[in-house]
Structure 1
Amino acid sequence: MSSMIKKTIFNTFIGAFLCSIPFSGIAQSNDTKELNAASNVKNEDKIPVDPNVKIGKLKNGLTYYIRNNGKPEDKVELRLVVNAGSILEDDNQLGLAHFMEHMNFNGTKNFKKNDLVDYLQTIGVKFGADLNAYTSFDQTVYILPIPSDDPEKLEKGFQIIEDWAHNAELTEEAIDGERGVVLEEYRLGKGANERMLQEYLPIIAYNSRYSERLPIGTKKILENFKYEDVRSFYKDWYRPDLMSVVAVGDLDVATLEQKIKDHFSGIQMPSNPKKRETYDTPNHKETLIAVVSDKEASNSVVRLMYKDREVSEPMTTVGDYRKAIVERVFTQMMNSRLNELRNKPNPPFVFAGSSHSGIFARNREAYQSFALTSETGQLNALKTILQENKRVQKYGFKSSELDRAKKEISANWEKQFKDKDKRESARIIGEYINNYLEQEPIPGIEWEYQYTMSQLPTITLEEVNGLIKDFLHDDNRAVIMTGPEKEGLKQVTKEEILSLLKEVETSEIEDYKDEKVRENLIEKMPTPGKIVSSKKDEKLGVTVLELGNGAKITYKKTDFKNDEILFSAYSYGGSSLFSLEDHNQVTFGLGSITQTGLGGLSLNDMSKVMAGKIARVRPYINNLSEGFNGSATPKDLEILFQQIHLYFTSLNKDEKAFRSDQAKTKGFLANYLSNPQSYFREEFNKFQFGKNPRYTGFPTPEKLDAVNYELTYQKYKERFAGAGGFNFYFVGNIDESKLKQYAEKYIASLPDTGKDETYKTSNFRPLSGTHEKTVYKGKDPKSSVNIVWRGETAYDKSEKLAIEALGEILSIKLIEKLREEEGGVYGVGARGGMYKIGPSGGYSGYRFSISFPCGPENVKKLTDAAIAEVKKVINEGPTDKDLAKIKESRLLDYKEKSKQNSFWLSNLQNADYNQITIESEETYAETIKKLSKQDVQNIAKKYIDTGYILGVLMPEKK
């Protein structure tokens, strides 16, 4: 479970290279009648409800939503939605809405303490990853995915969510046992961000109840509340008229509806229910300012908010929906301008974005801007955002910007529409939850697509430009700055902010200039090469093409998604082939070297060329290899191939653009190690790997400044000098004839260097055996424990499975012992792995680890308890029940993941990279079934019955 704030301060809008056909051609590629029908609706018409969802209400007031959806197969997603959260707590109940969420997993009428989690694990449902819940200000949502092809499992699933609704036992013993777990979650949330939030929340949630009702509550009340306090919250607010059951999955609607009626019709409404109040955030005339700093703050952030004067009303009419489309167009254009600024020399921020979106309160929205800055750049970032707002207010946007925004939005909608029948149930179900809680419309993707596509051409510059006049105003304005506090760093003052607001308001400003760029990514097309051979593995459905220049292309055509092709590539070598001197001069520049643009186009130029196209390629150079990751729609696959070609042949040489990206990196990382957890990770890594001559540690500003750009560019060109030795992988809805055509044109045309390269293995071996490292950092009473076993060994497929299973089994036992029995942790996990080619040295080996956060006073006790669980498996082996849980979970995971493009892309590349075979579903299932308790016990004896490395984070000594 997690305490989660659903409403964010700012919904960031990160621009990406999105691709589609020119907007003017969209309408011609779709059903004209449907688009015409969508364009003929009137603004006052009500937004329809998706006919694919069945909505009903029981006599007791409970609302339900049901939809049949076959992806993934044999699975149904269940949600119990409670329209009650921390905002409804009395003063003596702070934190108990969230505490109640925890209690529903600690004993109900039909599932005694721990029985619920134990049962679900036996049917392959993992605690935390699958089974979960969250509490926010205004709602509590329980999450339960269950198999739908077994009537008994389905019945038990509905019995579980019924029990959550009204059958929690709330015994004194269970309540006291859970206090420790929730207090550990409370402890986990402490730190710089929480301390700063406590200071600026009263600015955002001015004079409102929201500023006093953070879901986690207070330590004093969590430690001392009376049993009746949590029982009272459950009795008052867990009732049918404040509940919804949502069921989406691979089962017929009638069966799901009957289950809901059977399990929830009998829940009685209280005779005198408390009124479910709604709470607002009052208006304020003055500009509210909060400048907050903390010694452990790792980032510098600027927020500018213009809170709406009026409460927001639910979107109910077609006119309301059209207004939302106009706002999206506005947001797209504004963020494109901000993104251009971040890509220029001396960028004013690391990242920035703006939107008209929700704040904490359900019924309030605001025009909000957000910027991540360098530690000295907050005022400049605020000035830049204010100036861009003013520029749009005075001059408006350009028609060329509007055209690009429409292309981007239409491309995204086209992709969603094409994949409408391939959406997973977990991605659909959120729409119905929001409809119940906030009356968000649910017309269905068909209507939304058709209506949006019919309206986009009619949206004018005047409409979009007019929005900012309503967004900007002197009242209800707030500025929040958060950042590090350290010696020599001058803090921004409120007076400086007020002065800046006035300065920008009265200053002159020039209009935006939209520089025109060429239309094509590649100016001169390459001369195609040849495919010299083609082989197909019929069983796996995989085809391998050999190209004339030595490159190899492996592809698998799937129907998992209609509008998705995933891509990756690798070649052995990487930075292992650099001399030690060269390695140390370029390591921290390899991430920025590709941020200079392609084929003479800067990043900003490329974003214009790529408007409306969905194709992304990202090169990388790591220790042992170099390659690419990417994706595209089938329509834009050629654009992806063009990018691949250009990254080999035409990466821009532009030191200014390179240094600009390095400046953003420095701004982001300058105070990263102020966070105690980040500092601990870095120190523990240094302890384990620091003697490696190639260990470079954390990228400090000094190390970034010392990067040799000329050498970095040279090394990039060396690693991507030709396609010989590269292995390319494509998975998705592939047109095979087109893929072969593009392969010959853009990859087979690349040179073959004639080198048969591989990586260089290292003689260095990281720390192993018995060692201990304690790091003192942070003022909060928080600790972290990492226990690591590692070593060199020959790779063995069966041992790999056994050590992975050992990690999964120990995770179950550690949750039972450290969380449920001791109440000493919020989360704990173990993980085992074996690799044939280690990521740093190129040798084969294994790694096993256990990690958890806890209180400093419990470090030794809980570490000893964790090691005792390890010893128990070594001496006795796992139980039949725990091994069966792992087997069931793995088989269900494989069944679901093997219907995903990402699964096949990863497995195809890993098989070649590690020179191993891919298992079919049948052989995988056989392997899992053969795994025995003795296999797991033997692997534990072989690899973790030896010394371990213990890393501990402790707070600073006072």
Structure 2
Amino acid sequence: MDSAVRYGKLNNGFTYYIRKNEEPKKTVELRLIVGVGRIHEDEDQLEYPHLLEHVLAGKTRNFPNVKDFFSKVGGYSSAHTGTRLTSYEARIPSQDKQVVKNGIRVLRDWAQGLIWDQEFIDVQRAAVEGEMRVYDPYRQWINETTEREVLKNTGYKIYGDDKRLENLRNFNSEAFRRYYKDWYRPDMQSAIVVGDINVDSVEHEIKRQFSELETSENPKSGRKRITSHIINLDGSNQFSTVVDTLHQELNLRLIRLRPNFEGWQKNGEDYQKMLLQQLYTTVLDKKAEQLEQQYDPPFNNFTTRYGANQIPDYQLDGSLMSVKLETDDLLTLKKDFQRALIAWKQMHLSFNQSDVEKAKTALLEKYTDAKWMKSKSLSHRYTWHFSYGKAAPHPEVEAELVSDLLSGINLEDLHEFISENGTLDKNTVYIFFKGTDVNMPDYGIYEQWIKEIDTMKIKPLAEQQTITTLTDVVDIPLLNVMDEAEIIENEIGVSTVNLTNGIKVVLKPSKPRTGSLVNTIFLQAFRPNKIPVQNRQEYLVARVAPQILQHMGAGPFNKFELDRFKREKGIQLDFRTDKDNQMIYAASKSEDLPELFNLLYLYLEDPRKDERGFDAWKSDQKLKLEGKGFRGSDYFFMERIAASWYPQIPVLKREDLQEIDVEQVDQALNKWFSSIEDFTFIVTGDFNKDTLLPLLVNVLSAFPAKNEILPAALKHINFPVKRMEKNLELKNTDQVYISLFFPVKVPRDIKTLVELQLVSKALHHRIYSRLRNGSYSPIARGEWMDFKKGIFAFRIDFDSALGNEEKMISHAMEEFRKLREIGVEKEWLETTIANEVRTYESRFDNFGYINFWPDYLQSKLQEGEDPVPGILNYGTLMEHFTTMDDINAAVKKYMKEEHFQQFLGYPEGHHQENKPLERCNIQEEKR
């Protein structure tokens, strides 16, 4: 245990961890950890731990609205239910001692302060159900089925979401009360307080408040529940077949299971095992990445952390390989199957000393990162100490131990780890997902094919050739025009330079919040999209050409070679086109900025015509159009809404993919993406302006620019300020997506912008509170639909279960109208203004993974607005010159329903069939 931690246990068994820490200053992290979770539920209590977490996170004996309390003091709260722990967390400012005392009082209420309010419980039941809906039902079914097949012979009992939902809907109040009474007791709980605090005062407060917690006369054994859920690997391999009624394909999921050594370490030996596992997965990730970097890889997907991320309770780790098997004939099927398993062996045979040393360096950097001294990270350490018994030394002590252990690990140690945990001769699960009409051989045939591989002489993967620099193939002309550049600086530290080739460069340096972002520079470039919409085919090709460019590569290098170059250099480069703009997004460390410009120049000057890359783009796009992308059909809902607003603008459809060819793409790239005139480059991040500006001016001045003047083709396409109602059909979803818009014409002065922001916050506060009972994450906000014409819209977005959408819409409209009629309360407004000003102004001088400046500057520059007033006056106007009367007047003036627009995204065919997605059947066999 970290010696800086005040660790103790009260007479009733309650545990506490207290640590003073000033990273960040003036804040406190609070946690109440209950050492119980899903493995402690009885069969009639399925999903009740999650429900109880929702209820307590929202309302307790002394805090009728927990989130409001934390918001008013300038903090926030959250909660999470896991397998063997439930965590309630909050962050608050530390300056006010009474606020800290009240924060600890919330922890006390979370421990034993449940208010039995059936109406509120019902609201939270609906909220939990909303959380259980998924963006991609098919992927969810695949993952659930995989988990069930993997665990079915391990002794670990799991329940599917269907059974959990049924138990949630048929609420059993006695079972719910029983779970709370049995498990929410002091010997199963701990308080964690880390931050800018007086340790003695906090300890006194914990003893005062938590000593009164009631104990149980006949406590249930939490340890017994844990031991009954221990996962045992018996060393056998397992085959099973699952019938997939939605796809006439044959897909293999191969999972090699192993014990998870990460998260359980108590001593040096445990740390040694953990580091071997981390070295193994780090190197294996690189090997899999090497095989994936080809147009016909031996597997569709490969992950080394399947177990830790998918299997409950972190007991197992595992690698998962997904393979699509062609079933045209037995020889083709055999070839695909054996090729995947040969690839597995090749990856493991090719581990070398250089791989190990690189992995060691990466791990040591991870353990010495300054983020581990943040109060939130420290709180997480003590959470794992309490719940899993994991050691919690000072981060510097741990880093020193890791360094010593890594220095003693060699390639032979890793080979020994592989022989025990990486071969396919044991603890391997083969799951075949087959279509109803697909024939596949008996398992004995597969076993014979595996034996054949065992007799083969397999070579390790060849060393991968990497691009060290692009200077050999890129010849950017050397210019020295810095002396001619006129630099304009404003009051907020933004510098602007107009280059002779029609490029504008705008710089705004700021400081990084984390060590990993030191010397990181971000580029965000935009210019008006002038692609004409009159010719549908030409527009579509030009719109998608930047995506295709990144699939085909540039110069002598294909996509995979350039992707590897970007990864190794830490360079990001992405091209996009939307209705209004052509965009370039890029980032790199300052020392690699010349290589970033080399890469951009290469893409512009010498794009490849790569048929295989083009075909790969079409395959990816086909999956997205079928709702099988990362976010499922939610990804396309907004695009479908935009198509309703702007029917003049062509939208890519699946059938369009057949009409686009490489020659068309090459012509579009040459016409629309071979030069950078009219681009504005916004440069932000951690840099010295005087050092960086000469590089930017001299290099960007040498980039190709055309003198051809093209019309602003989309000027005449206006946002439709009118009533609209559309039911849209989406693929691969089993829920309804709802977006409601309330467009209105407004002035564009800063005072009005302040009022609209606060009204949007007030609307979100109401919508979230009301719709959370049936939606995963309801949100309300305001956005500009057409800034130049002063068209603003309040927007409400939420998801709903099928059949419940009309009720949810009715609730949303009720809250919209209540706000318009009643307005805002003084206390809410004062708290919100204080939080808004603090949050808004805190982003000016520092950046994290969210960077305020690029989007802010672009929004002002593309509309011809001066960015200075929004920085200097916005906070002052909000804090000192905005009253409750102003906001309530704005509510009545701008919250209009005259042009109300409603968009509903339904599952494809829902209105015709009115039935849920088909379920799939399972056939199993163990070998």
Cα pair 1:556 1:732 within 8 Å, conserved: yes
**Contact 1:391–1:510 (Cα < 8 Å) also in 2:** yes
**Contact 2:542–2:672, Cα closer than 8 Å, also in 1:** no
Instruction: Note the C-alpha offset of 1:910.
Output: 3.1
Of residues 439-448 and 890-899 in structure 1, the stretch that sits farther from structure 2 once superposed is 439-448
Other-structure match for 2:429: 478
Distance change >3 Å, CA 503–CA 243, structure 1 → 2: farther
User: Match for residue 549 of structure 2?
Assistant: 593
Q: Give the distance between the partners of 2:265 and 2:357, measured in 1 at CA.
A: 26
Compared CA separation, residues 858 and 711, structure 1 to 2 (3 A): closer
1:240 maps to a residue whose letter is: P
Residues 1:685 and 2:641 aligned together? yes
Is 2:682 the counterpart of 1:725? no
Query: Retained in 1: the 8 A contact 2:299–2:340?
Result: no
**Residue equivalent to 1:331:** 281
User: Within the alignment, does 1:887 sit opposite 2:833 as a pair?
Assistant: yes
Tell me the residue number matched to 1:875: 821
1:813 aligns to 2:763 (yes or no): no
8 Å CA contact 2:624, 2:632 repeated in 1: no
Secondary structure of 1:267's counterpart equals coil
| Contact kept in structure 2, 1:557 and 1:731, CA below 8 Å | yes
C-alpha displacement of 1:502: 4.8
Q: 780, 783, 796: which is aligned to 1:833?
A: 783
From 722, 727, 746, the counterpart of 1:774: 727
Q: Does 2:525 align with 1:570?
A: yes
**Alignment of 1:142 onto 2:88:** yes
Q: How does 1:718-797 map to 2 (within 5 A)?
A: 718-736=671-689, 738-740=691-693, 742-744=695-697, 746-754=699-707, 759-765=712-718, 767-775=720-728, 782-790=735-743, 795-797=748-750
Instruction: Give the drift of 1:185.
Output: 4.5
CA 320–824 in structure 1, closer or farther in 2 if over 3 Å, else same: closer
1:703 aligned residue = 656
Q: Separation in 2 of the partners of 1:160 and 1:505?
A: 60
What is the TM-score when the length of structure 2 is the normalising length?
Answer: 0.83
Give how far 1:237 is off. 1.5
1:204 alignment partner, SS class: helix
What do residues 829-860 of structure 1 show as CA deviations (whole Å, max 9, x unaligned)? Answer: 322212555xxxx8663233223333444433
1:406 CA displacement: 5.5
Matched, 1:119 2:69: yes
Contact 2:265-2:271 within 8 A present in 1 as well = yes
2:511 is aligned to 558
Per-residue CA deviation, residues 796-848 of structure 1 (Å, 9 max, x unaligned), is 544444334333222222344445xxx555543322212555xxxx8663233
Tell me if 1:76 matches 2:31. no
Number of residue pairs the alignment of both structures matches:
887
Q: Deviations over 1:442-487 (max 9, x none)?
A: 445545555656766765443334432212243322134569x69x
The residue identity in structure 2 corresponding to 1:64 is Y
Match of 1:283 in 2: 233
Determine the structure 2 residue equivalent to 1:31. none
C-alpha distance in structure 1 between counterparts of 2:733 and 2:469, whole Å: 55
Distance 1:863 1:447, change over 3 A: same
Query: How many Å separate the matches in 1 of 2:445 and 2:749?
Result: 64
In structure 2, C-alpha distance between the alignment counterparts of 1:56 and 1:310, rounded to whole Å: 29
Q: Residue in 2 aligned with 1:463?
A: 413
What is the match of residue 852 of structure 1? Answer: 798
Give the Cα–Cα distance (whole angstroms) in 1 for the partners of residues 325 and 508 of structure 2: 43
1:900 equivalent in alignment to 2:847: yes
1:595 match: secondary structure:
helix
Q: 2:756 aligns with which of 782, 800, 803?
A: 803
How many angstroms apart in 2 are the aligned matches of 1:619 and 1:777? 26
For residues 31-65 of structure 1, the C-alpha deviation after alignment (integer angstroms, 9 at most, x for no partner) is xxxxxxxxxxxxxxxxxx55665544444433333
| Residues 397, 236 of structure 1: alpha-carbon distance in 2 compared, 3 angstrom cutoff | same
Superposed CA deviations along residues 116-157 of structure 1, whole A, max 9, x for unmatched, are 3333343455xxxx4321212211111222222333332222
What is the match of residue 321 of structure 1? Answer: 271
Instruction: From the superposition, tell whether residues 887 and 219 of structure 1 become closer, same or farther in structure 2 (CA, over 3 Å).
Output: same
Q: 1:307 to 1:762 in 2, by over 3 A?
A: same
Distance 2:319 2:577 in 1: 37
Q: Is the Cα contact below 8 Å between 2:78 and 2:88 reproduced in 1?
A: yes
**Secondary structure of 2:231 counterpart:** coil
Q: Could you give the per-residue CA deviations for residues 282-302 of structure 1, whole angstroms, max 9, x where no partner exists?
A: 334543344446567999975
Matching of residue 108 in structure 1 with residue 60 in structure 2: yes
Q: Does 1:230 align with 2:173?
A: no
Asked whether the equivalents of residues 836 and 845 of structure 1 are also in contact (C-alpha less than 8 Å), the reply is yes
Q: Write the letter of the residue equivalent to 1:957.
A: N
Q: Could you list the runs of 5+ residues in structure 1 that have no partner in the other structure? A: 1-48
> What runs of 5+ residues in structure 2 fail to find an aligned partner?
916-927
**How far is 1:889 from its partner?**
3.5
Q: Distance in 1 between matches of 2:711 and 2:301?
A: 38
Q: Deviations over 1:667-717 (max 9, x none)?
A: 56555399995498279537624622x32144x2x4334333233344335
Q: Which amino acid aligns with 1:704?
A: L
Query: What corresponds to 1:240 in structure 2?
Result: 186
For 2:115 and 2:823, locate their aligned partners in 1 and report how far apart those are by CA, in whole Å. 34
Residue 396 of structure 1 aligns with which residue? 350
Q: Which amino acid aligns with 1:583?
A: Y
User: Contact 2:543/2:577 (CA < 8 Å) preserved in 1?
Assistant: no
**Alpha-carbon deviation of 1:369?**
1.9
Which position in structure 2 is the counterpart of 1:861?
807
What whole-Å deviation, never above 9, does each CA across 1:14-35 have from its counterpart, x for those lacking one? xxxxxxxxxxxxxxxxxxxxxx
Going from structure 1 to structure 2, the CA distance change for 1:204 and 1:754 (only over 3 Å counts) comes to same
Alpha-carbon distance in 1 for matches of 2:307, 2:797: 38
Aligned partners of 2:171 and 2:285: how far apart in 1?
47
Tell me how far 1:659 sits from its aligned partner.
3.0
Q: After alignment, is 299-308 or 885-894 more displaced?
A: 299-308
- C-alpha change, 1:169 and 1:785, in structure 2 (3 Å) is same
Which whole-Å deviations, capped at 9, do the CAs of 1:532-585 have from their partners, x for residues lacking one?
Answer: 346475753334455554542413142534442241231313353687342223
| 490-499 or 767-776, which deviates more | 490-499
CA gap of 1:910–1:296, structure 2 versus 1, over 3 A, is: farther
* Residues 878 and 937, structure 1, Cα contact 8 Å, conserved in 2: no
Displacement of 1:351 after TM fit? 4.0
Contact (CA 8 Å) 1:408, 1:613: kept in 2 or not?
Answer: no
Report the Cα offset of residue 101 of structure 1: 0.9
For residues 888 and 492 of structure 1, what CA distance do their matches in structure 2 show?
Answer: 68
Superposition pairs of residues 80-95 of structure 1, within 5 angstroms = 80-95=32-47
Superposed, 1:44-193 pairs within 5 Å as 49-50=1-2, 54-70=6-22, 72-105=24-57, 107-112=59-64, 115-125=65-75, 130-172=76-118, 174-176=120-122, 178-186=124-132, 191-193=137-139
Q: Which moved more, 1:141-150 or 1:667-676?
A: 667-676
| Matches of 2:356 and 2:500, distance apart in 1 | 44
Is 1:348–1:380's contact at 8 Å kept on the other side of the alignment? no
- Report if the CA contact (8 A) 2:250-2:438 is conserved: no
Choose from 291, 295, 319 the match for 1:368: 319
For the aligned residue pairs, the C-alpha RMSD in angstroms reads 4.2
The amino acid that maps onto 2:914 is K
Q: Report the CA distance between 1:723 and its aligned residue.
A: 4.7
SS at match of 1:588: helix
Deviation at 1:731? Answer: 3.0
Contact 1:684–1:951, Cα closer than 8 Å, also in 2: no
> 2:703 & 2:155 partners in 1: Cα distance?
63
SS of residue paired to 2:547: coil
Q: Identity, % of aligned pairs?
A: 21
CA 1:172–1:708: 2 relative to 1, 3 Å = closer
Amino acid at match of 2:493: G
Give the match for residue 921 of structure 2: none
Distance 1:933 1:82 in 2: 45
